[in-house]
Each structure stands twice: as C-alpha cells, then as structure tokens.
C-alpha cells in the first residue's frame, strides 16, 4: 500500500470515528428540547418524562466502565461497530415509540449502546496516528466533542418544529450509517482476546458508585437534597461502592482496571485535574442560562444565543492549542487556559442585576477559549507515558469520571446557589424592620391594593438574595479553579513509551 493510500485510509477511518462520536455526543442534549412535545404524544406527566433522560444516564454509567474490558476481549473495532449499529437501531425504535415504557426501555438500550463510543474513538485515534500528529488529531476530535452538545438544542428545536420530535432520533441514522461504513472499511483490525480475568466485584462496586452518584445528582434537586431519605440512600451506596472499588483495585490479583494506570503520575494527575475542571466548567455552563432567565428576564432563545460565544471560543482555542503547545509547552498552555478560566469566574462572581448581555458574552468567550486551551494538551499529557495497551481502558476510566465530575458540578452549583440564596433572603429580611424610617414611610403603601406592595417588597428581597446566591456559586468555582494550579507541577510531558502504531490493512 502506498503512503498516499495509507493516508487516505487513515483519513477515512478518522472521519468515521468522528462521525460516530458526533452522533452520540449530540444525542446528549438534542432530545432535551423535545421533551414537552414527547409528553403529549406518550401521554405522560412532566415528572414521568424525566425518566427518558434518567434511563439514558443510568445505562451510560453502567456500560462505560465495561467497554474497556469488552474492547480487549472481543476487539476494539468489533465493539465499536456493534455499538454504532445498536445505537442507530435503538434511535429508530425511540423515534417509533408510542408509550412511555417503550421510550424508557429504548433509551436505556440506547445508553448501553452509545456509552463506549467516545472513549473507544479517542483510543483508536491515538493508535491510528503517529505521536507527532496526536495534538492535531485530538484537536479535531475535541471540537466535535465540545461543539456537538452546544449544537444539540438548536438542531433538536428545529427538527421538532419543522418535522416532529421523532426526528431528533431519526437524525442519527445517516450519521450512524456513514460512520459505520467508514470504520468498517478503513479502521485497522485488532484481534481481541487480551482481557484479564473479569473482576466481578470491582465492576459491580464501580457500577454501584457511578449509578448512585448519577441518580443523586439527577434526583437531588426534585427531592430537596439531603432532606430526603432517598438522597441519603444514594450517598451511602455511592460511598460504599467507591470504597469497595478502591480496596479491590489495591488488593485483587486481577483488578477490573489495571493498577498500572494509577501508578502513572501523568494519568493520575490529569485524572484528578480533569474531574475537578469538569465540575467547574459544567457547573458554570448550567448556572448561567438559569441566571439569565430567572433574574434578567431573558427568554430561553436569548439565553442560548448569549451562550454561543463560549462555543466559538472553544472551537478557536482547539485550533490554536496544538500550535501553542508546540511552541510554549503543554503545561504553560494549560496554565494560560486555566488562568483565563480563573479571570472569567472572578468576573462572573461580580455579576449584578443591572448588567447588560455583554459581560455574559465576554466571560463566556474567555472561559470557552481557556477550556479549549486546556483540553487538548491535557489529553496529550494524559496518555504520554502510558503503555499503548492501556490506552483504551485509560480513555474509558477518565471519560467516565469526567462525566461524573461534570454531573456533580452541575448539582453542587445548583444546590450551593439555592442554599446561599435562602440564607441571604433571611439576612436581608431581618433588616426590614418597622422602626426603619423608610419602612415606616412605606408601610401604609405596602398594604394598599390587598398587600400588593408587600408582595413586591418580598419579591425584590428574593431577587436580590438570588443574585447573592449566584455570585456565591461563581465564587466557589473561582476558588476551585485556583486550587487546580498546584496539580500542574505534577504533570510531566514525556515521550511515549515505545509502542507500535497499528498497521493499516493491506487487503
């Protein structure tokens, strides 16, 4: 095979991997906007519709850790093709669903099918291209992973309004078919049969931890958090699962994930860094649109438009990051991105009720650009010193924990804002006393029109307290970002261990 043919084959395989990744990542958010339309068609209540999202999340949490072991057992290419085909089939069935139980079951199976595609595509790209091109290839992959969830709600809204909610699932068919064909024809074969003995206890403990934590962050807001026994049950199960998994990994002869992963300093450091960073970034992304709609009076569409500069910043940074890392080094590039994030969060911690849209857009762009600068070199450092045989499992485990970190960040941000707002409301209300000259002057007017003035006063106190709560939420993210700085000292960019790039098929 000529070098030109080899390059063309690599490009086709890369295109197929990225198309499949686009399909599964866009599905994370594309269905959210269609839920109200599904509700009527499926004759379900609003509370029942949340299980359409929860079933997908739970299935992903169960299947993600298993995908690394399975890829070694039956082969990465075979597992990837099975996942793509199954995801497309379940998407069609979701679009054809006529009742809520059918939709929940099909979404559960869709989550099982799609969980492995993102880590498998990342690991396959690392093996497909030589180390000197890793940064550029990861940049292209990262653009898709970042941009697809941002595009999801817009595409989902257009499909729902133009056709019907069923097309948010049917749109996966052309993407899946093209991705499957490209991967089948061009991705090199790997034999499989390399898996260690299956550690049932370690896997079960990890699944219990992941599922309980996902249910905790998903159900917590509607159950008033720790005032609910159900939430405390999730906490206890998650902590118990985490403890058993750690002890099993440390002591078992054949743990579910090899101990070599965690002995690698780069991988362990980037794992902690990535989880905490995901919590901060996802937390801020979730809080800003709610703040805009709740306190500034923006519509959902206006809030979405205001968030677009964040996506633009990320895409631009992914294009710049390989160049910056090559000239400045990976750690300095990550440092610049982290400092951008710190500055953006400091500015967001000073948002107020009289602000215009410009500070929201500028801080979003700054944070998005910083995120893009960090993600690419961090992905390179994560795998820099790992043996190639561990890449798939490393991608699976780090991806799973980053997702959990993001979910936890969203939940913590919302809970922190609610708690701080309640405390601020109590403090502000305590200063409204009848002996205050202003209040004494206003009291007769407050009780005019059946107490409309008093209701307006309480509404303004609530509004001001909520603003304090949002600023406090941005504040904890600011300090959490600063706490990440020492971890940069532990990262050591290094040449990869000797490993052969998978040979392309010669048929």
H-helix or E-strand spanning residue 118: helix 117-128
Nearest CA-CA partner of 373 in 340, 403, 343: 340
* 101 Cβ contact partners less than 8 Å away, ≥ 6 residues apart: none
Terminal-to-terminal C-alpha distance of the chain = 9
SS3 readout for 436-493: CHHHHHHHHHHCCCCCHHHHHHHHHHHHHHHHHHHHHHHHHHHHHHHHCHHHHHHCCC
pLDDT at 8 exceeding the cut of 60: yes
Tell me which residue has tokens 């048929």: 507
321: tokens are 């990051």
Task: Please tell me the distance from the alpha carbon of residue 114 to that of residue 88, in angstroms, as a whole number.
Answer: 9
248: tokens are 């099993």
Mean residue pLDDT of the chain comes to: 80
pLDDT at 32 exceeding the cut of 60: yes
E strands in 384-449: none
269 neighbors 261 (Cβ within 8 angstroms): no
Task: Please tell me the distance from the alpha carbon of residue 305 to that of residue 289, in angstroms, as a whole number.
Answer: 10
Tell me which residue has tokens 């209040």: 439
Note the Cα 218 to chain centre separation in Å: 14
Query: pTM to 2 decimals?
Result: 0.73
pLDDT at 223 exceeding the cut of 80: no
Task: Please tell me the distance from the alpha carbon of residue 463 to that of residue 163, in angstroms, as a whole number.
Answer: 39
Tell me which residue has tokens 């890793």: 134
Task: Please tell me the distance from the alpha carbon of residue 207 to that of residue 61, in angstroms, as a whole number.
Answer: 7
Nearest CA-CA partner of 266 in 210, 318, 331: 331
CA distances from 350 to 289, 347, 428, 468 (A): 16, 5, 19, 10
* Residue 83: per-residue pLDDT: 93
Q: What is the mean pLDDT of residues 112-132?
A: 84
For residues 163 and 428, which has the higher predicted lDDT (pLDDT)?
Answer: 163
* Residue 91: per-residue pLDDT: 92
Task: Please tell me the distance from the alpha carbon of residue 384 to that of residue 497, in angstroms, as a whole number.
Answer: 8
pLDDT at 59 exceeding the cut of 70: yes
Fold of domain 1-196: Growth Hormone; Chain: A; (1.20.1250)
Q: Where are the domains of the chain?
A: 1-196, 198-257, 258-507
353: buried, middle or exposed (CB in 10 Å: 19+, 13-18, 0-12)? Answer: exposed
Nearest CA-CA partner of 84 in 114, 126, 118: 114
Note the Cα 497 to chain centre separation in Å: 30
Number of neighbouring beta carbons within 10 Å of residue 461: 18
At residue 338 the predicted structure's pLDDT band, cuts being 50, 70 and 90, is very high
Task: Please tell me the distance from the alpha carbon of residue 467 to that of residue 457, in angstroms, as a whole number.
Answer: 16
Percent of the chain with pLDDT over 90: 12
CA distances from 44 to 25, 99, 129, 260, 267 (A): 26, 8, 48, 48, 45
* Residue 454: per-residue pLDDT: 63
362 neighbors 491 (Cβ within 8 angstroms): no
* Residue 503: per-residue pLDDT: 36
pLDDT at 479 exceeding the cut of 60: yes
Number of neighbouring beta carbons within 10 Å of residue 418: 16
* Residue 505: per-residue pLDDT: 34
Q: Residues, the chain, total?
A: 507
* 186 Cβ contact partners less than 8 Å away, ≥ 6 residues apart: 9, 10, 12, 13, 16
| Least trusted range by pLDDT, from 372-381, 385-394, 487-496 | 487-496
| Least trusted range by pLDDT, from 127-141, 229-243, 423-437 | 423-437
Number of neighbouring beta carbons within 10 Å of residue 177: 15
Tell me which residue has tokens 């790997």: 190
pLDDT at 150 exceeding the cut of 70: no
What angle in degrees, to the nearest 10, is found between the helix axes of 200-219 and 391-430?
30
Q: What is the mean pLDDT of residues 257-284?
A: 84
392 neighbors 117 (Cβ within 8 angstroms): no
Highest mean pLDDT among 105-109, 407-411, 422-426: 105-109
| CATH architecture under which domain 258-507 falls | Up-down Bundle (1.20)
Task: Please tell me the distance from the alpha carbon of residue 110 to that of residue 217, in angstroms, as a whole number.
Answer: 21
pLDDT at 2 exceeding the cut of 70: no
Task: Please tell me the distance from the alpha carbon of residue 382 to that of residue 238, in angstroms, as a whole number.
Answer: 26
* Residue 507: per-residue pLDDT: 33
For residues 4 and 311, which has the higher predicted lDDT (pLDDT)?
Answer: 311
Taking only the tens place, the pLDDT of each residue in 166-212 is: 888 998 999 999 999 999 998 888 766 666 678 889 888 988 888 88
DSSP state of 190: -
pLDDT at 164 exceeding the cut of 70: yes
Task: Please tell me the distance from the alpha carbon of residue 246 to that of residue 491, in angstroms, as a whole number.
Answer: 23
Taking only the tens place, the pLDDT of each residue in 416-450 is: 777 788 888 788 777 666 566 656 555 555 555 55
* Residue 496: per-residue pLDDT: 45
What angle in degrees, to the nearest 10, is found between the helix axes of 200-219 and 46-74?
150
Q: What is the mean pLDDT of residues 335-347?
A: 92
């Amino acid at each position: 095979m000529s070098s030109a043919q080899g390059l063309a084959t690599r490009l086709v395989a890369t295109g197929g991997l990225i198309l499949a990744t686009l399909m599964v990542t866009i599905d994370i958010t594309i269905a959210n906007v269609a839920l109200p339309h599904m509700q009527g068609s499926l004759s379900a209540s609003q509370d029942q519709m949340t299980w359409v999202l929860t079933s997908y999340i739970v299935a992903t949490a169960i299947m993600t850790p298993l995908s690394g072991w399975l890829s070694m057992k039956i082969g990465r290419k075979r597992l990837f093709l099975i996942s793509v085909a199954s995801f497309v089939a379940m998407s069609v069935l979701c679009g054809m669903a006529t009742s809520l139980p059918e939709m929940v079951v099909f979404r559960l199976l869709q989550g099982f099918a799609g969980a492995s595609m993102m880590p498998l595509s990342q690991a396959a790209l690392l093996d497909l291209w030589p180390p000197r091109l890793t940064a550029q290839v990861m940049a292209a992959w990262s653009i898709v992973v970042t941009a697809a969830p941002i595009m999801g709600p817009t595409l989902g809204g257009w499909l729902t309004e133009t056709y019907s909610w069923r097309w948010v699932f049917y749109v996966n068919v052309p993407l899946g078919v093209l991705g499957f064909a490209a991967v089948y024809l061009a991705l090199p074969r790997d034999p499989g049969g390399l898996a260690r003995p299956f550690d049932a206890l370690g896997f079960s403990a990890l699944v219990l931890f992941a599922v309980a934590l996902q249910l905790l962050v998903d159900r917590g807001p509607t159950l008033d958090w720790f005032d609910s026994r159900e939430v405390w049950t999730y906490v206890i199960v998650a902590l118990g699962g985490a403890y058993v998994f750690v002890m099993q990994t440390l002591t078992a002869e054949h743990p579910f994930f090899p101990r070599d992963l965690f002995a690698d300093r780069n991988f362990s450091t980037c794992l902690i860094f990535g989880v905490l960073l995901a919590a901060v970034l996802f937390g801020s992304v979730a809080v800003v649109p709610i703040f805009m709609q709740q306190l500034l009076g923006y519509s959902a569409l206006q809030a979405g438009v205001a968030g677009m500069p964040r996506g633009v910043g990320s895409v631009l940074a992914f294009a710049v990051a390989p160049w910056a890392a090559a000239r400045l080094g990976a750690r300095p590039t990550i440092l610049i991105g982290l400092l951008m994030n710190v500055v953006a969060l400091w500015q967001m911690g000073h948002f107020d009720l009289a602000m215009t849209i410009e500070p929201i857009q500028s801080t979003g762009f700054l944070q998005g650009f910083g995120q893009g600068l960090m993600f690419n070199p961090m992905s390179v450092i994560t795998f820099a010193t790992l043996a190639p045989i561990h890449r798939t499992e490393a991608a699976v485990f780090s991806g799973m924990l980053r997702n959990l970190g993001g979910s936890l960040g969203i939940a913590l941000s919302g809970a922190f804002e609610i708690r701080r707002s309640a405390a601020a409301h109590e403090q502000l209300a305590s200063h409204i006393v009848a002996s205050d000259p202003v209040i004494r002057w206003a009291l007769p007017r407050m009780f005019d029109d059946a107490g409309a003035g008093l209701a307006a006063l309480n509404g303004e106190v609530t509004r001001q307290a909520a603003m304090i709560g949002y600023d406090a939420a941005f504040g904890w993210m600011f300090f959490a970002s600063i706490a990440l700085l020492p971890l940069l000292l532990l990262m050591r960019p290094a040449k990869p261990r000797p490993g052969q790039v998978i040979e392309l098929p010669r048929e």
